[in-house]
Amino acid sequence: NRKKTILDIQKMKAAGEKITVLTSYDYPFTRIMDDCGIDMILIGDSVGVVFSGYDNTLPVTVDEMVYHTRAVVRARPKALVIADMPFLSYQTDVRDARLNAGRLVKEGGAEAVKLEGGAHVADTIRAIVDMDIPVMAHIGLTPQSIHRMGGYKVQGKKEEQAQRLLDDAKAVEEAGAFAVTLEGIPLRLAERITAELSIPTIGIGAGPHCDGQVLVIHDILGLCEKYSPKFVKRYGDANALITSAVSSYIAEVKKGEFPDEGHSFS
Ligand code: KIV
Ligand code: NA
């Protein structure tokens, strides 16, 4: 069980083996999911919502992404570590994009970066790939575009929009992306894009035909109460677990049952 690289990930598409991805933002979650055998770990800018409590991902800074990436990397995961490029770290110009991608790798320890957008960020993707930093693209419902989209809405429902997303997918592959996240698009469109690309597609709210799947760890654990999109499946109830543990602690301390002699020094 050795360190996974982008080569391993790309081979999985050819072999028809599904690629599993989860977000992580810290050391303990990374240790646990890596021991489970997750293929890739994404330090998503979703950290801003599920960890920092912002309303959306726009306020997240490169410094915050570096901080969380370092925490993840300290767990020395076998999984490939990908860090999100946050809003305003790559949209201004290619030089900014290269510097900020470089920071995520150099200071954070990321092995790849992810950024949002299709054909219009192809030059940016190429520039980062040219400095030997692998890039995962992200098209469809791109949360950093919340104000343009007018909310988190499924993209590519109309044929014209679907064709544009297919073109975007081809453009990011052509630009050198090693994989592409497909978020919030109809399952038939995701199936079509997956069939037409040679790089792996990683779906979230994009149906069962993608080469891999990504979800936010807090969402699968039921730790994000704010909103729960249709595509999230809850695999555990960490909210109930934490509520029970914290309530028991409070009750035992109040009653004088904790700490007992067993947890004290004589
Ligand atoms: O920020 C994030 O967690 C993401 C994934 C949900 C794809 O971009
Ligand atoms: Na993201």
Predicted TM-score (pTM) of the model is: 0.97
Give the span between the Cα atoms of 110 and 132, in whole angstroms: 12
Residue 259 Cα to ligand 1 midpoint, Å, equals 41
Give the span between the Cα atoms of 108 and 233, in whole angstroms: 30
Residue numbers in the chain where pLDDT is lower than 50: none
Give the span between the Cα atoms of 49 and 223, in whole angstroms: 11
* Domain of 249, in residue numbers: 238-266
Residue 218 lies in a domain: yes
pLDDT of residue 157: 97
Residues 151 and 258 in one domain: no
Residue 176 lies in a domain: yes
Residue 149 Cα to ligand 2 midpoint, Å, equals 15
Question: Collapsing DSSP states into helix, strand and coil, what is residue 231?
Answer: coil
Question: Collapsing DSSP states into helix, strand and coil, what is residue 239?
Answer: helix
Residue 1 lies in a domain: no
Using the atom order of ligand 1, give the atom closest to the CA of residue 183: 7
Ligand 1 atom 5, closest CA: 44
Residues 58 and 162 in one domain: yes
Catalytic residue check, 183? yes
Residues 185 and 129 in one domain: yes
pLDDT of residue 228: 78
Residue 168 beta carbon below 6 angstroms from any ligand 1 atom: no
Residue 214 beta carbon below 6 angstroms from any ligand 1 atom: yes
Residues 98 and 165 in one domain: yes
Ligand 1 atom 8, closest CA: 44
pLDDT of residue 224: 81
Ligand 1 atom 3, closest CA: 44
Find out whether 156 and 140 touch, Cβ atoms under 8 Å. yes
Using the atom order of ligand 1, give the atom closest to the CA of residue 214: 7
Residues 149 and 258 in one domain: no
Residues 245 and 177 in one domain: no
Provide DSSP, 4-22. --HHHHHHHHHHTPPEEEE
Residues 197 and 247 in one domain: no
Contacts 24+ apart (CB under 8 A), 124-128: 124/90, 124/94, 124/97, 125/172, 125/175, 125/176, 125/177, 126/175, 126/176, 127/94, 127/97, 127/98, 128/97, 128/98, 128/101
Token pair recorded at residue 167: 């073109």
Residue 195 Cα to ligand 1 midpoint, Å, equals 23
Residue 198 lies in a domain: yes
Q: How many domains does the chain have?
A: 2
Annotated catalytic residue within 183, 196, 225, 252:
183
Residue 43 lies in a domain: yes
Residue 263 lies in a domain: yes
Residues 132 and 243 in one domain: no
Residue 118 lies in a domain: yes
Residue 38 Cα to ligand 2 midpoint, Å, equals 18
What's the pLDDT tens digit per position in 87-109? 999 999 999 999 999 999 999 99
Residues 178 and 242 in one domain: no
ipTM exceeding 0.90? Answer: yes
Residues 169 and 259 in one domain: no
- Candidates 77, 71, 69; CA nearest to 33 is 77
Give the span between the Cα atoms of 119 and 166, in whole angstroms: 10
Residues 248 and 161 in one domain: no
Could you tell me the CATH number of the domain that includes residue 211? 3.20.20.60
Q: Report residue 247 CA to chain centroid gap.
A: 32
Residues 107 and 215 in one domain: yes
Binding annotation for 3-methyl-2-oxobutanoate: 45-46, 84, 114
pLDDT of residue 184: 98
> What per-residue string of b and e applies to 250-261 under the rule 16 or more CB within 10 Å gives b?
eeeeeeeeeeee
Ligand lying nearest the CA atom of residue 202: 1
pLDDT of residue 151: 95
Give the span between the Cα atoms of 122 and 132, in whole angstroms: 16
